[in-house]
């Protein structure tokens, strides 16, 4: 009898696959492969899609937070970015966590099946999203042949991105391709904001550091550089550094629960719980929902409501038809798309403070909802932690060594850090946009977390190279 597992494995075998290296590569070799992958991705993000009208303008003027989370650049080969990979991973994590798909990820065969499913889902989502972007008119009105050519480009480019992510994860590179692509996108945005040599209409350089040097050597006034709206300014520079230090500090904050070994009562220790317990997962989920609503409403509007005269479709989203006709810029004017899209800078908040407040409250609400949901399905709940502690031979001093008792004690800590952490990351994302933080609040949050992960990875790799016995101890 053919099982679902057999069908999935049979389908997965027909997909292109990156094989693992036959030997363990040195750290230098893995650096080289990682660099090659990054260079290819950056080149793809600056290669415009053939046949797309005004692709350059789409790439420059699409201020969507998902461009950071999904490392995408509209109008280029990375129009879909890592979106299909991340979306497929999130869907599978939710299905496995809710036990709709029953997999034990501690088993190698189930992990292999999860990886195969993730690749299949990613390709299916790629086909769907490529079709939507190509044939819906979102990238511009094209004839069927041109739209088909764009569809083929998006499908081929995103499949290559999936394979590059697999190459990195299979041991050729370092860490995860998804993390690399996000980090390089945020870092590029920060570098442009700091050092871009383009002269803006106000006569200053786009990069705020060059603009400050320009003002110092030419005697130009520094006042116009304090706040420049959507362009890099002193407010954004100060906010970026302040937010960076705040995130680094919060990442290091721990709530410590006293525990001890059950068999050796005198050996006491502490179980650390991160203050940002759910990390940036809630704001990623929330931003994904917001941006999908933006995309969906803009596609429906461009097809059925270009004059904003349909009362029911206006609830979903109204857009600037003049900008649509001439510049292909989708500027939300009302509906869900308007209030679930950030005002982006302090001028936007001042122009419509109600929108700024509503967006902040919606973001906080969704982050709280997703934080609670993620704790329950991702093995972070008090019950799961209590089971892990008991399996490790630990107990809480002064209490009976039983899962319900330990879970009740830990729940007080986990519930508090889950709520506070979700509110903090939501405020970081919101206020980062409002104060023109370079790379965006969520971008800085993601970049900091990724860099810390790579720091730990490099330390681990260096230690295992210096002391080969450690690799056997760590199970590598």
Q: Whose CA is closest to 176, among 453, 462, 377? A: 453
Structure tokens at 288: 């994904």
Q: What does residue 35 show for φ and ψ, rounded to 5 degrees?
A: -65, -40
With a CB cutoff of 8 Å and minimum separation 6, the contacts of 37 are: 164, 167, 168, 173, 177, 180
- Are 19 and 163 within 8 A, CB to CB? no
pLDDT score at 328: 47
The CATH fold assigned to 232-476 is Preprotein translocase SecY subunit (1.10.3370)
Strands 394-395 and 332-334: unpaired
- Are 409 and 255 within 8 A, CB to CB? no
In the chain, which segments carry CATH 1.10.3370.10? 4-190, 232-476
Sign of CA dihedral 362, 78, 150, 126: negative
pLDDT score at 326: 39
With a CB cutoff of 8 Å and minimum separation 6, the contacts of 18 are: 163, 166, 167, 170, 172
pLDDT score at 72: 83
Return per-residue pLDDT of the chain as tens, 476 residues: 556 666 776 776 777 778 888 887 888 888 899 999 999 999 998 898 888 876 555 555 554 565 777 788 888 899 888 888 888 887 787 777 667 777 766 677 777 777 778 888 888 889 988 888 888 767 777 888 988 999 999 999 999 999 999 899 888 888 888 888 988 888 888 998 999 898 988 889 999 999 999 999 988 899 889 988 778 989 999 999 999 899 888 888 888 878 777 666 556 778 888 888 888 888 888 887 887 788 788 878 877 888 888 888 888 888 876 544 434 456 788 888 889 888 878 888 888 999 999 999 999 999 999 898 888 777 788 888 888 888 777 777 777 777 788 888 888 888 899 999 999 999 998 988 888 888 888 888 888 888 888 888 888 777 776 666 555 555 55
Q: Whose CA is closest to 123, among 147, 87, 170? A: 87
Give the separation between CA 428 and CA 424, rounded to whole angstroms: 6
CA 379 to chain CA mean position, Å: 21
The CATH fold assigned to 4-190 is Preprotein translocase SecY subunit (1.10.3370)
pLDDT score at 213: 93
- Are 207 and 188 within 8 A, CB to CB? no
- Are 170 and 18 within 8 A, CB to CB? yes
């Amino acid at each position: 009898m053919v099982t679902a597992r057999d069908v999935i494995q049979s389908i997965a075998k027909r997909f292109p696959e990156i094989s693992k290296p036959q030997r363990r590569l040195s750290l230098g070799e893995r650096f080289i492969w990682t660099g090659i992958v990054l260079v290819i991705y950056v080149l793809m993000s600056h290669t415009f899609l053939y046949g797309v009208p005004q692709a350059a303008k789409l790439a420059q003027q699409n201020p969507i937070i998902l461009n950071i989370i999904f490392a995408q650049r509209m109008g280029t080969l990375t129009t879909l970015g890592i979106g299909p990979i991340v979306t497929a991973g999130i869907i599978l994590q939710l299905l496995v966590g809710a036990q709709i798909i029953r997999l034990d990820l501690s088993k190698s065969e189930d992990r292999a099946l999860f990886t195969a499913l993730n690749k299949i889902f990613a390709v299916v989502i790629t086909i769907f999203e490529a079709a939507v972007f190509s044939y819906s008119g979102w990238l511009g009105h094209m004839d069927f042949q041109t739209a088909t050519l764009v569809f083929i480009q998006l499908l081929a480019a995103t499949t290559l991105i999936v394979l590059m992510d697999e190459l990195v994860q299979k041991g050729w590179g370092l860490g995860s391709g998804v993390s690399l692509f996000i980090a390089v996108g945020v870092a590029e945005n920060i570098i442009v904001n700091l050092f871009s040599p383009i002269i803006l209409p106000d006569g200053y350089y786009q990069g705020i550091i060059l603009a400050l040097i320009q003002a110092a050597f030419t005697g130009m006034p520094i006042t116009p550089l304090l706040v420049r709206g959507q362009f890099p300014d002193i407010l954004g520079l100060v906010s970026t550094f302040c937010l960076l230090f705040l995130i680094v500090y919060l990442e290091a904050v721990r709530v410590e629960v006293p525990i001890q070994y059950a068999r050796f009562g005198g050996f006491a220790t502490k179980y650390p719980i991160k203050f940002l317990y759910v990390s940036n997962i809630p704001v990623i989920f929330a931003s994904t929902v917001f941006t999908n609503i933006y995309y969906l409403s803009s596609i429906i509007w461009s097809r059925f409501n270009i004059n904003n005269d349909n009362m029911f479709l206006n609830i979903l989203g109204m857009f600037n038809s003049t900008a649509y006709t001439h510049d292909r810029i989708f500027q939300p004017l009302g509906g869900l798309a308007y209030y679930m899209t950030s005002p982006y800078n302090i001028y936007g908040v001042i122009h419509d403070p109600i929108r700024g407040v509503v967006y902040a409250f919606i973001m906080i609400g969704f982050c709280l909802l997703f934080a609670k949901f993620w704790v329950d399905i991702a093995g972070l709940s008090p019950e799961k932690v209590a089971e892990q502690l008991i399996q490790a031979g630990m107990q809480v001093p002064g209490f009976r060594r039983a899962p319900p008792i330990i879970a009740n004690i830990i729940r007080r800590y986990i519930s508090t850090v889950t709520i506070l952490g979700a509110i903090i990351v939501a405020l970081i994302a919101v206020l980062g946009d409002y104060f023109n933080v370079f790379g965006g609040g969520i971008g800085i949050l993601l970049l900091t977390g990724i860099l810390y992960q790579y720091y730990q990875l490099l330390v681990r790799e260096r230690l295992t190279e210096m002391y080969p016995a450690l690799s056997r101890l760590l199970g590598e």
